[in-house]
Amino acid sequence: MNRHTAIPLLTPLLPNRDALAPYLAKLDHNRHYSNFGPLNGALEERLSAIFEAHSPDPIHVTTTSSATLGLELVLSSLDLPPGSKVIVPALTFVASLTAIIRAGYIPVIADIDPHSWLLTPAIATQAAAQTGAQAVLAVSAFGQPQDTQGWSIFQRQSGINVVIDAAGAFGSQWVKAPDIPVVYSMHATKSLAAGEGGLVVSGNPSVNSTVRQLSNFGINLDANAGFPVGHLSFVGSNAKLSEYHAAVAHASLDQWDAQARLRQDIYRAYRQALEDACGDLLQWQAGITLAAPTIFCLRMAAKARDRLETICQQRQISTRRWYQPLLHQHAAKVAPIIKQPTPIAEAIATGLIGLPFSPFMTNEDINRVVEATRLATASPILAHQP
Ligand SMILES: Cc1ncc(COP(=O)(O)O)c(C=O)c1O
């Protein structure tokens, strides 16, 4: 019998029934359960104010039932010809890929920066020159924010549309360029959790209004469109956020500061302990300290990573090779793609590992993971080999 309790990879933190109660009472009173109800409207206004505090421009927030649908609808709103090519990084979640394919486009899988592990405008410039791509879906991988102003310059200079998939980056990724739409997830595992849900955030009201209509089957909702309200104007979907999910999102926002602080404190202590134990045998994604980390990902020598997985399995510590297989390996089975060389993504993937992380992690949990990592990297030959 193993004397250790299991350490899960992640444990969601959502508002409990007491925190939800005031919003559920509003729901009972309103008797409005979906279709852009009052809780949804208030949530969009609350979030716009938060984004506007980090942007020089007015910012619009449109909710969706998930980030995946939000991405698909923003990409559809670009209205590119079917079969247009869209650049996406190799190291991301499969939803980035499926959104491109479902919007009718062809993914162009590109490499990432060796330090930030992100697709950058420089990499996209090269990929676009070689493939003739008309759009880019850049990703705030592992919550690390993208430079929206840098992408705005890229978009203006190249004429190539840019959308940011910031599914896991609420609180860290801001919308500092009004012409770059950014999509966030409110899935249970994310920092602003509603169970399920997405946010399309931009400084361009026409992007938000098109996404709103696409999320409601494509029915025209705009009295000034020169087209009858209630008639179908696009081929949309049902991607509306229910009032129940909006209620959870409100309660999550109420608790945002406290849970973000907790996540940061645990993240800092955990990372410090690992650095003390393993020093430069571990490599970290370059960038800011996230406002509210939700996962814990690092890189080590491939053999040390494989050994750590075995040790963790023996000790009931869950791990995950985040975003692996890489996107082109997934895509090969489902749809035609265009593949750019991706040596950096491939090199990073061989040593990438997600360790357990949650707001419920105790010092004892951290010590157990640190000890496993120390053991896995202990042999200098093993630890330094690529
Ligand atoms: C990069 C990325 N894009 C998209 C998604 C999908 O988000 P959702 O579950 O809200 O559809 C995720 C989910 O983790 C993600 O990590």
Nearest-CA residue for ligand 1 atom 1 is: 93
Q: How confident is the model at residue 385 (pLDDT cuts 50, 70, 90)?
A: low
The C-alpha angle with vertex 121 and arms to 117 and 122, in degrees rounded to 5, equals 85
Backbone φ and ψ of 205, nearest 5°: -60, -25
Where are the chain's structural domains? 17-254, 256-384
Task: Check pocket membership of 187 for ligand 1, CB cut-off 6 A.
Answer: yes
- Indicate if the pLDDT at residue 2 is higher than 70: no
Q: What secondary structure letter does DSSP report for 279?
A: G
Task: Check pocket membership of 121 for ligand 1, CB cut-off 6 A.
Answer: no
Residue 146 CA to ligand 1 center (angstroms) comes to 16
Task: Check pocket membership of 143 for ligand 1, CB cut-off 6 A.
Answer: no
Task: Check pocket membership of 95 for ligand 1, CB cut-off 6 A.
Answer: yes
| Tens-place pLDDT, residues 238-262 | 999 999 999 999 999 999 999 999 9
From 139, 187, 327, mutation site for ligand 1 pocket: most ligand atoms within 8 A of C-beta: 187
Strand runs labelled E in 145-266: 161-165, 182-185, 198-202
Burial class (CB in 10 A: 0-12, 13-18, 19+), 382: middle
- Alpha carbons 79 and 68: distance in angstroms, whole number: 18
Task: Check pocket membership of 168 for ligand 1, CB cut-off 6 A.
Answer: yes
Q: At the fourth CATH level, which superfamily is domain 256-384?
A: Aspartate Aminotransferase, domain 1 (3.90.1150.10)
| Tens-place pLDDT, residues 323-341 | 999 999 988 778 899 999 9
Sign of the torsion angle spanned by Cα atoms 212, 214, 219, 225: positive
- Indicate if the pLDDT at residue 225 is higher than 60: yes
Beta carbons of 78 and 161 less than 8 angstroms apart: yes
Is 17-254 assigned to CATH 3.60.20.10? no
